[in-house]
């Protein structure tokens, strides 16, 4: 098989041929012999997009930063394959020891190794490695070995040594800096040990430090760059939902966002608030910020579920944000059903509904779906920032935690500043969150501190 990196004539060949007419394509295919036709699907430099190819030069870390579905996993898998096979320019020889590092063992196995764009799918039959499940490693026909390591266990990187590593989704790791530091000590074999990092950007310290290092090079692409390999319905849906939003700029455009000046919440703080094991709750409520219109361009109807432990002194109460069930473009009947479903699914005891815009109509709509639904109507007498600030203080005290998967809510939270909501629109998810936490913790705290006449 020809080298997938050594022949500069192959570089981005598919793009060149695809940009021509049918005659160019036919001429190219007719000039290939049988062996070259069989090898063509595995010549990654021919098929790759520019951001999927490693930059030239003497670098230590290559960061492939892009949106969801931008082809980052394929880039990482093909880079490992090329390093193992010794097919990279200036490479003194094939790598023998590779670290595959992900957030969990399952993610390394199911995405980096067995995934549709993983190492096994990218490898031709005669060079495909063997998976040794009992030892959690890949073994290539030439003797090269890749072992699994995870960000949950940084200490597993003490002892082994490598001449290459592939790190996936570094920006979401809870122990990112600790794991990254341990990996650097282990990259000590060969003439030029290197690491490829494939990640969707998040404004976390470990990624910022890596990008600022003079030994780091970066390639970047939005989700749209890989549109030819993605379902059109997926692209239409995510464009409609997230295009132009802070979350869309991060998850679709692949942009590393700076924190909003004066933000009440930061992404780093929300990452630190992540929880995986849920406690037992004494109360669960659903915060509801109804939409006053329905349709594709209408505001969202914020629906956020929060549970709380309310035993002991009120200053010790804790809360966990369990779900964001927000809907957009829904009719009143639809958002009412969504809110009641959320309450029933999570075992909530009450809906906390803002009624500034809808007034009595909000309760009537909810009771039209369920006449017995418990509702507490709340009125906003202060501005959004004034209501959100005491809730932000609960986060600073470490009294509120988040489950995973609240990206859209957390995006809105990071856009709430002391001056207002950055970027336009309405923070309906944040409003629903604020009402829920006011009910569970803020309001009881105020009552506890209020002076009262003591009996004689």
Domain boundaries, the chain: 48-240, 267-449
Q: What is the pLDDT of residue 39?
A: 66
Residue 204 CA to residue 173 CA, distance in Å, equals 10
Measured between alpha carbons, how far apart are the two ends of the chain, in Å?
A: 95
Q: What is the pLDDT of residue 198?
A: 96
Q: What is the pLDDT of residue 49?
A: 84
DSSP 128: P
- Residue whose pair of structure tokens reads 């090269």 in the numeric block: 144
CB atoms under 10 Å from CB of 408, counted, come to 19
CA 70 from chain centre, in angstroms, equals 13
* Cα within 13 Å of Cα(92), Cβ side: 10
For domain 267-449, which CATH number applies: 3.40.50.970, 3.30.390.10, 3.30.420.240, 3.20.20.140? 3.30.420.240
Residue 240 CA to residue 361 CA, distance in Å, equals 29
Q: For the CA atoms of 383, 389, 391, 396, what is the dihedral angle to 10 degrees?
A: 170
Q: What is the pLDDT of residue 424?
A: 63
DSSP 247-290: HHHHHTS---PPPPTTBSS-HHHHHHTB-SS----SEEEEEEE-
* pLDDT tens digits, 25-66: 666 666 766 666 666 677 787 777 888 888 888 899 999 999
Residue 80 CA to residue 98 CA, distance in Å, equals 8
pLDDT means per 10 residues, the chain with 456 residues, are 42 54 65 68 78 89 91 93 73 78 94 94 91 94 93 90 95 89 93 92 87 94 84 82 73 79 86 92 95 66 96 91 93 94 96 79 91 91 87 94 91 86 81 96 77 49
Each residue of 33-44: b (16+ CB within 10 Å) or e?
Answer: eeeeeebbebbb
Each residue of 163-198: b (16+ CB within 10 Å) or e?
Answer: bbbbbbbbbbbebbbebbebbeebbeebeebbbbbb
Q: Which residues contact 404 (CB under 8 A, 6 or more apart)?
A: 274, 276
Q: Is 216 helix (H, G, I), strand (E, B) or coil?
A: strand
Q: Is the overall model pTM greater than 0.75, yes or no?
A: no
Q: What is the pLDDT of residue 237?
A: 79
Q: What is the pLDDT of residue 6?
A: 38
How many residues comprise the chain? 456
| Topology classification of domain 48-240 | Rossmann fold (3.40.50)
């Amino acid at each position: 098989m020809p080298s997938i990196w050594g022949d500069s004539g192959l570089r981005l060949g598919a793009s060149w041929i695809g940009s021509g007419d049918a005659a160019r394509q036919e001429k190219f295919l007719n000039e290939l012999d049988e062996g070259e036709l069989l090898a063509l699907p595995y010549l990654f430099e021919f098929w790759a997009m520019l951001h999927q190819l490693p930059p030239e030069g003497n670098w230590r870390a290559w960061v492939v930063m892009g949106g969801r579905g931008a082809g980052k996993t394929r880039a990482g898998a093909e880079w490992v394959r090329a390093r193992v096979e010794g097919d990279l320019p200036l490479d003194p020889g094939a790598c023998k020891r590779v670290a595959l590092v992900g957030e969990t063992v399952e993610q390394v196995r199911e995405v980096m190794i067995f995934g549709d764009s993983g190492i096994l799918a990218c490898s031709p039959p005669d060079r495909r490695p063997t998976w040794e499940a009992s030892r959690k490693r890949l073994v290539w026909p030439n003797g090269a070995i890749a072992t699994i390591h995870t960000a949950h266990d940084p200490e597993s990187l003490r002892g082994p040594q490598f001449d290459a590593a592939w790190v996936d989704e570094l920006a979401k790791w809870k122990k990112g800096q600790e794991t990254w530091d341990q990996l650097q000590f282990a990259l000590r074999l060969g003439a030029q040990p290197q690491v490829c990092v494939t990640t969707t950007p998040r404004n976390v310290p470990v990624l910022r430090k890596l990008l600022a290092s003079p030994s780091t090079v970066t390639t970047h692409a939005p989700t749209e760059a890989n549109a030819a390999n993605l379902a059109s319905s997926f692209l239409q849906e995510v464009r409609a939902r997230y295009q132009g939003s802070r979350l869309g700029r991060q998850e679709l455009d692949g942009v590393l966002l700076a924190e909003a000046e004066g933000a009440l919440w930061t992404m780093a703080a929300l990452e630190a608030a992540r929880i995986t094991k849920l406690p037992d709750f004494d109360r669960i409520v659903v915060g509801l910020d109804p939409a006053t219109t329905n349709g594709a361009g209408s505001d969202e109807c914020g629906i956020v579920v929060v549970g709380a432990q309310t035993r002991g002194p009120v200053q010790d109460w804790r809360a966990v944000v369990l779900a964001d069930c927000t809907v957009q473009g829904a009719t009143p009947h639809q958002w009412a059903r969504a809110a009641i479903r959320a309450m029933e699914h999570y075992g909530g005891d009450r809906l906390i509904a803002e009624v500034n815009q809808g007034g009595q109509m909000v309760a009537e709509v909810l009771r039209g779906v369920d006449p017995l639904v418990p509702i507490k109507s709340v009125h906003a007498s202060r501005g959004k920032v004034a209501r959100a600030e005491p809730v932000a203080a609960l986060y600073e005290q470490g009294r509120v935690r988040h489950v995973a998967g609240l990206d859209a809510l957390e995006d809105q939270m990071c856009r709430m500043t002391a001056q207002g909501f950055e970027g336009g629109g309405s923070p309906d998810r944040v409003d629903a969150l604020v009402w829920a936490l006011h009910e569970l913790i803020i309001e009881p705290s105020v009552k506890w501190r209020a002076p009262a006449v003591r009996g004689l």
